[in-house]
C-alpha cells in the first residue's frame, strides 16, 4: 500500500503555525494603519495650507476695502490727490488679525482702465509663508463701476 504524500500529509505536524498567521495578520493591520495615518496627515496639512491661503486672501480683500473707504472718507481729498496729482499713496504694513496687509493706491497703468484708480493690497501670513494679492480698479467718476483682479 502506497502512502499518500502531499502537502496535507507531509506537514501534518503544524504546531506553531498559528503564531506565524498571527504575526502576518499583525503586519498586515500595521501596514494598513500606517497608510491610513499617512493619508490623514497629508489631508490635514493640505487643509491647513488652504485655510492659511484663504485667510491671506481675505486679508488682501479687507485691505482693498479699507483703502477704498479711506479714499472716500471726509471730503475725498485723498482721492483727489491720486486722481488730480497722480500721487501714489502707500501705507505701511497694517497689522490685522494673524497677518499684515500692504496697500498701494495709484492711478491705473492698465490700458483697459485708463483714468481709473488702482488699489492693490497684499495679505501676508508670515508665520506660514503665505501671501495673496487683490487689486481693485474703480472709476472715480462712477465709483460703482469697479473691477476686481487677483494677482
Domain boundaries, the chain: 17-150
Q: What is the pLDDT of residue 10?
A: 54
User: Given pLDDT bands bounded at 50, 70 and 90, which one contains residue 113?
Assistant: very high
Is the entire prediction scored with pTM above 0.85? Answer: no
Average pLDDT over residues 108-114: 91
In tens, the pLDDT along 2-44 reads 555 555 555 556 667 788 889 999 999 999 999 999 999 999 9
In tens, the pLDDT along 43-61 reads 999 999 999 999 999 999 9
Res. 130: pLDDT tops 70? yes
User: Given pLDDT bands bounded at 50, 70 and 90, which one contains residue 116?
Assistant: very high
Q: Measured between alpha carbons, how far is 28 from 72 in angstroms, rounded to an integer?
A: 66
Which residues does 104 contact at the CB level (< 8 Å), separation at least 6?
88, 89, 90, 119, 120, 121
The three-state secondary structure class of 28 is: helix
Q: What is the pLDDT of residue 62?
A: 93
Q: What is the pLDDT of residue 16?
A: 72
Q: Measured between alpha carbons, how far is 72 from 102 in angstroms, rounded to an integer?
A: 19
Amino acid at each position: 500500500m502506497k502512502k499518500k504524500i502531499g502537502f496535507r500529509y507531509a506537514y501534518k505536524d503544524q504546531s506553531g503555525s498559528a503564531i506565524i498567521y498571527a504575526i502576518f495578520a499583525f503586519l498586515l493591520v500595521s501596514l494598513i494603519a500606517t497608510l491610513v495615518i499617512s493619508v490623514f496627515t497629508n489631508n490635514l496639512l493640505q487643509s491647513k495650507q488652504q485655510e492659511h491661503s484663504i485667510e491671506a486672501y481675505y486679508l488682501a480683500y479687507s485691505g482693498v476695502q479699507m483703502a477704498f473707504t479711506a479714499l472716500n472718507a471726509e471730503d475725498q481729498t485723498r482721492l483727489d490727490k491720486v486722481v488730480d496729482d497722480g500721487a501714489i499713496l502707500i501705507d505701511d504694513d497694517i497689522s490685522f488679525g494673524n497677518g499684515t496687509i500692504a496697500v498701494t493706491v495709484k492711478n491705473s497703468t492698465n490700458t483697459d482702465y485708463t483714468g481709473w484708480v488702482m488699489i492693490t493690497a497684499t495679505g501676508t501670513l508670515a508665520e506660514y509663508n503665505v501671501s495673496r494679492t487683490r487689486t481693485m480698479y474703480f472709476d472715480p467718476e462712477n465709483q460703482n463701476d469697479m473691477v476686481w483682479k487677483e494677482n
